[in-house]
Structure 1
Amino acid sequence: MRVGTLNLASGRGDDGVSASRDDLVAALAGLDVDVLALQEVDVDQPRSHRVHQPSAVAEVLGATDWRFAATLAGTPDPFASWTALDPALDDGALVGPHYGVALLSRLPVRRWHVLGLTAGPLKLPLVAPDPRTGARRLWWFPDEPRAAIAAELDGVTVVGTHLSFAAPSAARQLRQLHRWAARLPGPVVVAGDLNLGGSLSALVTGGRRLVTGRTWPAPDPKVQFDHVLSLGGATGSDPEIRRLPLGDHRLVTVRVATAGRPA
């Protein structure tokens, strides 16, 4: 099976504008991946044309099973108000704009699991215009709560996640995820924007990177933040890193095989 990860960045292109549903579908048309982890996913957000992005991506991939975990209600923006959520809430119970992560599968999912990850204490410096004066200034953007979604498949569990932008917090969250994943049916593969460059994710978990190569920023990558990580018992072949017309990270995919499931 082929596993992938993509930081969708709310469907934004290089111009900073989020894609319409039709453009989102067109950008991902022909993508051959059996399980895809998505990060920075919008649902009913005005900035992204109120598209239910997990549903739209599932449709174009032919994913028969998927799960969206909303970590925020409202818009995650320095100038907007948002509220942290329990990511285990069912998507059908959510009303209004939401934001989070998603995991989509073409393969039958036996059971879903969701883990909430506490936001880190650090803030991200961001230079942007002041909405009151128009003058550019430095803002400090707080970290947001994070989540991991696990799909138990036949012979393997795939976990999708998006970790903190601060490396110490991301490492702490990854250790928490690793302990949680140890209780899930193995072998376990983690896919997502881990915000840990190079081999750090493997060092934190003792796992093995199935794809190596720079993934961020998409136009001219300097570092690998996006990983497909084996926590034991899974091997990878035919890795690919590809730039898409949307998202600020490059798409990462790899063919995954385990003792009980051929590639």
Structure 2
Amino acid sequence: MSEVLGWRVATANIASGRDRRTFRPALEHWLADAADLDVDLLALQEVDHLLERSGRVDQTAAIAEAVRGDGPAWDARFAPTVHGTPGRRTTMRPADGTTPHEPGYGIALLSRHPVEDWRELRMAPARLTVPVPDEQRVALAGVVRTPRGPATAVTTHLSFVPTRALAQLRGLVAWAEDLPRPLVLLGDLNLPAPVVNRVTGWQSAVRAATFPAPRPALQLDHVLLDADDTRPDGLSVRAGVAREVGRSDHRALRAELVIDGR
């Protein structure tokens, strides 16, 4: 049997780095907990980028610096769903792409190993306003050069309107067909695990409630493996756990994956 490699991954909705009780900025708590996750790849949702409400901080860069410790810099990318502050149509507009110096809100992917290619998929919002306007959604994929060869990580944060989230998930699966394998999808999908597994046909690496923290009742956050036994290389799960992080209203999911050559 070929040598196996552990690939430690995690996903977390960081709620803009704010305290779930006071809604005030509390990114310092997240920075410490992010480092304690001890992973090789970190997917983030609800990330603020240079927004006034969170102190004009580049949260992606701050977290990338925290997780690197004394090691080399990580590859990291922020992908905005909107420019401006979400929650009102008058304070946000859909982002056509990634503009590093424009304030916005979206998702991010951070990797200890080099990322050879980045790809984005932008998805239209729901038309309903319940209780606030939905924003455009985005999926961000990174083709990572791990010590055992390339592997693809995708992160996203789907609509809070279930019918729209389902349509977005189906579109994401179709878009991901052309991405290199093995592949892992990490993110806040706003859908329960049985629905997600049925729609994607993929395997949950961790089954645990994640929302609302600290006493979660639902699993809205997921780590999914494209479980296709016909592929020569794949991912399997060594361990997985849900953990409370920072002051977010979501728990993070952490999984130890194995990239093998079966």
The range that moved more, 7-16 or 206-215, is 7-16
Q: What is the alpha-carbon distance in structure 2 between the residues aligned to residue 54 and residue 122 of structure 1?
A: 30
Q: Counterpart of 2:207?
A: 212
Following superposition, the deviation at residue 31 of structure 1 comes to: 2.2
Alpha-carbon displacement from aligned partner over 1:161-185 (angstroms, at most 9, x marks no partner): 1001111111111111111111011
Question: Structure 2: 5+ residue runs without aligned partners?
Answer: 1-6, 228-233
Q: Counterpart of 2:220?
A: 225
Following superposition, the deviation at residue 255 of structure 1 comes to: 0.8
Would the aligned equivalents of 1:199 and 1:209 in 2 still touch at CA under 8 Å?
no
One-letter amino acid matched to 1:48 = S
Q: Counterpart of 1:114?
A: 120
Q: What is the alpha-carbon distance in structure 1 between the residues aligned to residue 260 and residue 28 of structure 2?
A: 39
Following superposition, the deviation at residue 197 of structure 1 comes to: 1.0
Write out aligned runs for 1:7-26 (5 A). 7-20=13-26, 22-26=28-32
Q: Counterpart of 2:111?
A: 105
Following superposition, the deviation at residue 143 of structure 1 comes to: 0.9
Would the aligned equivalents of 1:210 and 1:239 in 2 still touch at CA under 8 Å?
yes
Alpha-carbon displacement from aligned partner over 1:19-78 (angstroms, at most 9, x marks no partner): 355444234332201111100100111111111100011111115101110111111124
Is structure 2 residue 37 aligned with structure 1 residue 31? yes
Would the aligned equivalents of 2:189 and 2:221 in 1 still touch at CA under 8 Å?
yes
Q: What is the alpha-carbon distance in structure 2 between the residues aligned to residue 22 and residue 221 of structure 1?
A: 23
The range that moved more, 227-236 or 204-213, is 227-236
Would the aligned equivalents of 1:159 and 1:191 in 2 still touch at CA under 8 Å?
yes
Following superposition, the deviation at residue 258 of structure 1 comes to: 2.6
Q: What is the alpha-carbon distance in structure 2 between the residues aligned to residue 103 and residue 24 of structure 1?
A: 16
Question: Structure 1: 5+ residue runs without aligned partners?
Answer: 126-140
Is structure 2 residue 162 aligned with structure 1 residue 167? yes
Would the aligned equivalents of 1:21 and 1:51 in 2 still touch at CA under 8 Å?
no
Alpha-carbon displacement from aligned partner over 1:235-255 (angstroms, at most 9, x marks no partner): 112101011232110010101
Q: What is the root-mean-square deviation of aligned Cα atoms in Å?
A: 1.8
Q: Counterpart of 2:54?
A: 48
Would the aligned equivalents of 1:20 and 1:49 in 2 still touch at CA under 8 Å?
no
Q: What is the TM-score when the length of structure 1 is the normalising length?
A: 0.87
Task: Label 1:80 to 1:28 Cα distance change in 2 as closer, same or farther (>3 A).
Answer: farther
Percent identity reads 43
The range that moved more, 57-66 or 252-261, is 252-261
Q: What is the alpha-carbon distance in structure 2 between the residues aligned to residue 223 and residue 54 of structure 1?
A: 27
Would the aligned equivalents of 1:198 and 1:223 in 2 still touch at CA under 8 Å?
no
What's the secondary structure of 1:169's corresponding residue?
A: helix
Q: What is the alpha-carbon distance in structure 2 between the residues aligned to residue 180 and residue 32 of structure 1?
A: 30
Q: What is the TM-score when the length of structure 2 is the normalising length?
A: 0.87
Q: Counterpart of 1:89?
A: 98
One-letter amino acid matched to 1:248 = D
One-letter amino acid matched to 2:256 = R
Q: Counterpart of 1:67?
A: 77
Following superposition, the deviation at residue 187 of structure 1 comes to: 1.5
Q: Counterpart of 2:248?
A: 247
What's the secondary structure of 2:126's corresponding residue?
A: coil
Would the aligned equivalents of 1:27 and 1:244 in 2 still touch at CA under 8 Å?
yes
